[in-house]
Amino acid sequence: MPAQREELSLQNKVLDKNKQTRILTLSAITMQPPPPTPSPAPPPPPLAPFRSLLADALRFWEPRRIIYNLALFAVAVAWLILTWPHFRPALALTPLFLLSILALLANVCYSAAYLIDIPMQHSALAAVWRHRRWLLLLAGTLFAILVECYWIADEIYPDFR
């Protein structure tokens, strides 16, 4: 009980004005301002991860676009050679212009691979995907050859009789 009374008396003790100002000035002298903290590095822009994924996709897909175009060109040349007398009228300027538009559309369809590749690179399967995305190239090229053969046989071939 006496320890509690001593504690209470210390809590309720009032300092006189002289002592109080000396304590305040002493504490003001000894207090140092906090050292400046280095500002944190700015956060990376939100597009930085997307840019790296896009760059990786471009490095993979764009060199292989040549293979894709050569495969489609080889199929078109095979159709032309195997049915030569039939396609002779197709070598005029207007049909060749239409075929070049179809080639342009085939390249637009090739770019659809990015719609699959970029999200897959960002997923948990990214490491596996980077080693297996050639399967998407193979499937897409075979599908394009199938569409090309259909288009030639059903849409172009009957026009030149």
Question: Cα separation of 64 and 58, whole Å?
Answer: 10
Of the ranges 13-27, 87-101, 131-145, the best mean pLDDT one? 131-145
Mean pLDDT of 153-158: 80
What pLDDT score was predicted for residue 96?
Answer: 83
What pLDDT score was predicted for residue 71?
Answer: 97
**Whether the predicted pLDDT of 116 surpasses 90:** yes
What pLDDT score was predicted for residue 14?
Answer: 56
- Distances, alpha carbon 103 to alpha carbons 29, 33, 116, 119, 147, in Å: 81, 71, 22, 27, 12
Confidence of residue 38 (pLDDT cuts 50, 70, 90): confident
